[in-house]
């Protein structure tokens, strides 16, 4: 995995947190913040770049707390950019990248937190349902690749 892939993983984790906040404004996204930081440390991503990604979560929380007229929230990213219904392949890619990231840290704490995020992704994106649907998704993916 390259630093660019690791930055993409950070953004994917941030988008997971943003999606949760959009659906459940009181959700605690501290594990997402921490995971993003751990990914940055493991892959030597500049702290400023990591902070920019974490700032998306903070900005979303600010937007939620300053609800506009009519109860509308000015979300940081549009819903269509968020993984509300991530595919199994997208989920597996994120899980794989989290496990690969654990190989780049010596900290048992970091390894545990990265594993917890991988486990949470597996559960929240309902990976077991996807396994049953995998043949359909594979066919769609192959059609898109051609």
- Condensed to tens digits (0 to 9), the pLDDT of residues 21-41 reads 988 888 999 999 999 999 999
Average pLDDT value over all residues in the chain: 87
Instruction: Write the CA distances from 100 to 13, 93, 96, 105, 115, integer angstroms.
Output: 15, 10, 6, 10, 10
Tell me which residue has tokens 């392949």. 89
Tell me which residue has tokens 């892939």. 5
Supply the pTM of this predicted model: 0.83
- Condensed to tens digits (0 to 9), the pLDDT of residues 47-93 reads 999 999 999 999 999 888 887 666 777 788 887 887 776 777 788 89
Helix ranges, 66-126 (H): 88-102, 108-124
């Amino acid at each position: 995995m390259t630093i660019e892939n690791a930055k993409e993983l950070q953004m994917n984790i941030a988008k997971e947190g943003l999606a949760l906040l959009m659906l459940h404004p009181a959700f605690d996204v501290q594990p997402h913040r921490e995971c993003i930081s751990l990914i940055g440390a493991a892959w030597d991503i500049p702290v400023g770049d990591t902070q920019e990604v974490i700032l998306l979560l903070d900005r979303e929380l600010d937007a939620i707390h300053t609800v506009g007229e009519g109860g509308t929230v000015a979300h940081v990213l549009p819903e269509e950019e968020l993984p509300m219904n991530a595919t199994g392949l997208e989920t597996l890619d994120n899980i794989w990248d989290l496990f690969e990231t654990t190989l780049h840290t010596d900290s048992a704490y970091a390894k545990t937190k990265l594993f917890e995020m991988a486990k949470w992704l597996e559960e929240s994106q309902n990976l077991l349902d996807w396994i049953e649907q995998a043949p359909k998704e594979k066919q769609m993916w192959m059609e898109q690749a051609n």
